[in-house]
Structure 1
């Protein structure tokens, strides 16, 4: 039986002819990106959500899958150009909203190579070298965090939320198996005579709450540990809550923050580790953002004790200059990954293949097919080196301190606190009697809608316990200059004064 040929539009990228076509198309794409870059006047075009929707409506017409295909260069023009025009320019000094550092040129080229080769990590035959590279990167990052690489393990993940979900899964399974003699993934939670609970500080990342919900533990079984005046978890309170836990409850995890996304707060990890060990509880350190401090001898002390945690979440696409996704979950004891390896399939892990060394990584991840993200991480870190990485982290920290000092000198601006890492929280204090929360929310939206500045916002409780809206500068571009920061703040103050004078809250 004959089958129709796919035709000239099907050009596999990895063939000789395909690679030549890739070269041509990449040059076309770069031409588009350079043209768009030259036309930019701010971190995003003016117009806000309506402008983005209108731009999309003009381009995204017709079917996604037309009857007949289109020339590849024309498709690039049709889709890549508006995509670039309406992308946030994360290299712009006024792009200060999110944890999206500018990736390296060599890393962008690496992403292209990874896409052309399209390796996966679930089976040996899907990515022989990619598997070895993945294991090596995990081992070296475990070493960087202070783990024994011979005993530690881990996996790359799509992001911190998945890392936290996996950490809570291992905590549930490991602790309950130790305390009850049975893994909950066998009989389920309903077979237990006790209710699992998770302890975490107030304001922990929402992904922990979501993980607890997905795992069947339930949000009602999160026990909140009080904080001290600096916002850090109080170890004595964690110890008390664990000691006074009712007989029908069993604690499976104590979650510590190791660099909160708003304030960069790090909980007292050494004390919490000792308490967790004494009570037989899994200690998880969420260092998705804070792990960047590990690259700086100056700031590494902030994460003292992180190596004592049973698991650590690390996002190198936040504070490591690697493009998303470049996330890692590290585990102090590799055997805890058994939570994800209980159902091998014959086609992926036959016994004789396993004995011969044909071993994939499907048993250490929530994912089966998985991109070889270790390649871009390795390229980024090898290219920069430890000295440059440290200098980049310190430069961003210095910019945050500079911004905080400038904000503290402005009579109409209120700095929340000195930044331990690279996030700066502040707000404008209106004179027109407007509600400050509504005023700052409107100010942020106006600056973004006009394409002038991209800012984040958050709610933070002060010493009086009242939660208020604060604006946030996230400084992750070490090439930003103090003068550029001054210009951003000058522009913000001018816009706020105009809004204040107009009485628009």
Structure 2
């Protein structure tokens, strides 16, 4: 059988057997016996049949995963993917362009440049803005941190540089700062208000203290849509403080920046155009396959300053009237990650994307309504940007016992296979957290999930 036939067969088999997610467990972990068999499988001297190896992948490898497309997977922020995104991935895979610049792949470069420009427009940036497609929020945050360091600090001042982040910041922010040479003692975690937003008053105080000590404050990394609770930091106020002290303001909008495409909720990101850079993950709330993320910057020159380099072997590939992606980021060889997003936006249109984002927010609000009608459940953070946190809270138990009970409820739900609801920590308490981003989720899915949790909780009494 030719390889083309194997590919056709796989696609037919996948759509026939693997996509009835509602009847599958949300998460499945590999059993020890399978783990041992796969781990000990030798690499042969003579090759084995494609059919047999594909069968192993389909039946023994990929079933053991958390199914992101499942309508009752409430554990993680990445939403189910649009089928057209898969098609975009497939097309790009087959053509396999090196999308590092204009010369090696001018067609995809044209699409990615135009799409970056359009995304910058959505953020309220001017024509001076630019950006780059990257693998995810971690690399976007790192790229922004490098640009901020190079823009705001002289080389001799790096050892005095101070960055400010929220105590709710994603761990990739901390990693990025370590990589660019900012150790833990010069990463200041700012206080948050009762609604878990950065206190801009605390930021002002910390900057003044650090300046008096001879340090060099240079970067504020705020969040639009925190992982824990979907919180959006006070962007306008943070921009005001940052501008007054000549600090770079970065918005980690890996999750929440997608509100820019919502007609109803875009105003929650008011002031984002004041930020120097924005992280935005399309594989989170724009329904794309892994991986597809963007870093947008207010001024293209800030990326060129950090990443533009002209080695001899690339001289012929550079065109004076084009900006190559190798001049805007860390990577040289890279896939054309933006093609599938472009294809999705072109075929679905912004209206449908907006409606799907708004639907996820409405589902979280519906979930909150259902929880408030149930005895012994406490809302910890209200529904916002399609995330809600709550916990079982019966006064007959101590806090330690309640933490354990909420963990057990999460584990019981996961083991049941019906839904996946994981926990997080808020104010030292273990809480249940639901992300309701999926357009496939129904209100019935929400109701039954809460009913099951409530039933198991009642059995504890």
TM-score for both structures, normalised by structure 2: 0.93
Q: CA deviation at 1:367?
A: 1.4
Shift of 1:60: 4.8
Of 91, 96, 110, the match for 1:118:
96
Alignment of 1:98-497 (within 5 A): 98-148=76-126, 150-177=127-154, 184=155, 191-192=156-157, 195-245=160-210, 246-348=212-314, 350=315, 353-355=317-319, 360-429=324-393, 435-461=401-427, 467-497=428-458
For residue 13 of structure 2, the aligned residue among 19, 31, 35 is: 31
Considering only CA atoms, is the larger Rg found in Structure 1 or Structure 2? 1
Tell me the matched-pair count: 458
* 8 Å CA contact retained: 1:32, 1:81: no
Cα separation, partners in 2 of 1:57 and 1:37, compared to 1, 3 Å: farther
Calculate the aligned-residue CA RMSD, in Å: 2.3
Instruction: State the shift of 1:123 in Å.
Output: 4.1
Provide the secondary structure at the position in 2 that maps to 1:435: helix
Offset at residue 102 of structure 1 (A)? 1.3
Which structure 2 residue ranges, 5 or more long, are not aligned? none
Give the structure-1-normalised TM-score: 0.85
Distance 1:365 1:39 in 2: 38
CA distance in 2, matches of 1:235, 1:32: 51
Greater shift in the superposed pair: 68-77 or 395-404: 68-77
Instruction: Assess if the C-alpha contact under 8 Å between 1:36 and 1:81 holds in 2.
Output: no
| 1:13 matched residue in structure 2 | none
Alpha carbons of structure 1 residues 217 and 412: separation in structure 2 relative to 1, 3 Å: same
Of 23, 31, 43, the residue aligned with 2:25 is: 43
Residues 455 and 339 of structure 1, relative CA distance in 2, 3 Å threshold: farther
Counterparts of 1:52 and 1:135, CA distance in 2: 45
Question: SS in structure 2 opposite 1:416?
Answer: strand
CA 1:39–1:373: 2 relative to 1, 3 Å: closer
CA separation of 1:421 and 1:358: change in aligned 2, threshold 3 A: closer
- Distance in 2, matches of 1:39 and 1:201, equals 37
Q: Take 1:380 and 1:332, find their aligned partners in 2: how far apart are those partners?
A: 25
Give CA deviations for 1:160-192 in whole Å, capped at 9, x if unaligned: 111111111111110114xxxxxx2xxxxxx33
What's the CA shift string for 1:293-319, capped at 9, x where partnerless? 111121111100001000001011111
Q: Kindly state the Cα deviation for residue 159 of structure 1 after the two structures are TM-superposed.
A: 0.8
Cα 1:353–1:76 shift into 2, 3 Å = closer
Pick closer, same or farther for the CA change 1:338–1:493 going to 2, 3 Å.
Answer: same
**Shift of residue 59, structure 1, vs aligned partner:** 4.2
2:423–2:433: 8 Å Cα contact kept in structure 1? yes
What displacement does 1:40 show? 6.8
CA distance in 2, matches of 1:484, 1:109: 28
